Amino acid sequence: AQKITQTQPGMFVQEKEAVTLDCTYDTSDQSYGLFWYKQPSSGEMIFLIYQGSYDEQNATEGRYSLNFQKARKSANLVISASQLGDSAMYFCAMREGAHYGGSQGNLIFGKGTKLSVKP
Amino acid sequence: NAGVTQTPKFRVLKTGQSMTLLCAQDMNHEYMYWYRQDPGMGLRLIHYSVGEGTTAKGEVPDGYNVSRLKKQNFLLGLESAAPSQTSVYFCASSLGLYNEQFFGPGTRLTVL
């Protein structure tokens, strides 16, 4: 089973409008972290925002906010006031807690959502 | 600070050839990772290191080896390249287990 699911392969949004990119995750850990990265056409991976599983408030970073619903295991990215430069691939990723003999904090990525901002 | 750098940026290999990808970071990070990105697959972890002299397997380690002789460098080796290893390779580093990972610009590898 996929640990990170991004159900929207592609999305369009009008410039200056808000857009929500969906992400659901699957883990049995109590301690984990959720990340969003942006990958423009130039290829680099740019960190956007982080939410820890114990954080009570939703994370915000400028125009980015993370709508964290722990019981539903969802961590949707909200981009407010979209700009043309927001056109890119967006990846949701999860870092599970460290396990002896297993995960040491590596990220598990979803397949991404391609966002296109229309002028 | 240069952050995370990768060399080379592009490479074309023939089946059976070997090569080494170099990742360097100047942020004094303990953790370093190698991922590959294939179309429609997102990023998948190949190998990682939690400190100098340590390495461990990730999700897709077969056909690759790594070394972390110096804290700032993490090398990814392909001993006998196969067309299935055609991909974009990303190196990343993080200060600790619970910190965000910073990525290098990627290496586009084609195996003919």
**Residues A34-76: pLDDT tens digits?**
999 999 999 999 999 999 998 889 999 999 999 999 999 999 9
- Rounded to the nearest 5 degrees, what angle is found at the Cα of A51, between the Cα atoms of A117 and A22? 40
**Residues B17-64: pLDDT tens digits?**
999 999 999 999 999 999 999 987 789 999 999 999 999 998 899 999
Find the farthest-apart pair of alpha carbons in chain B and give their distance in angstroms, rounded.
39
Check whether A107 has a pLDDT greater than 90: no
Count CB neighbours of A100 within 10 A.
6
Chain A closest-CA separation from residue B79 CA (Å): 24
Distance from C-alpha of A12 to C-alpha of A17, rounded to nearest angstrom: 11
Structure tokens at A97: 């807690």
Q: How many alpha carbons fall within 13 Å on the CB side of residue B112?
A: 4
What pLDDT shows up at residue A103?
53
Subunit contact B56:A47, Cβ cutoff 8 A: no
Subunit contact B90:A47, Cβ cutoff 8 A: no
Phi, psi of B39 (to 5 degrees): -55, 130
Residue A45: which of B56, B90, B94 has the nearest Cβ?
B90
| A60 contacts: CB under 8 Å, gap ≥ 6 | A49, A66
- Rounded to the nearest 5 degrees, what angle is found at the Cα of B98, between the Cα atoms of B105 and B63? 50
Distance from C-alpha of A111 to C-alpha of B29, rounded to nearest angstrom: 27
Q: Please name the residue of chain A whose CA is at the shortest distance from the CA of residue B106.
A: A44
Subunit contact A95:B98, Cβ cutoff 8 A: yes
Structure tokens at B18: 């070997």
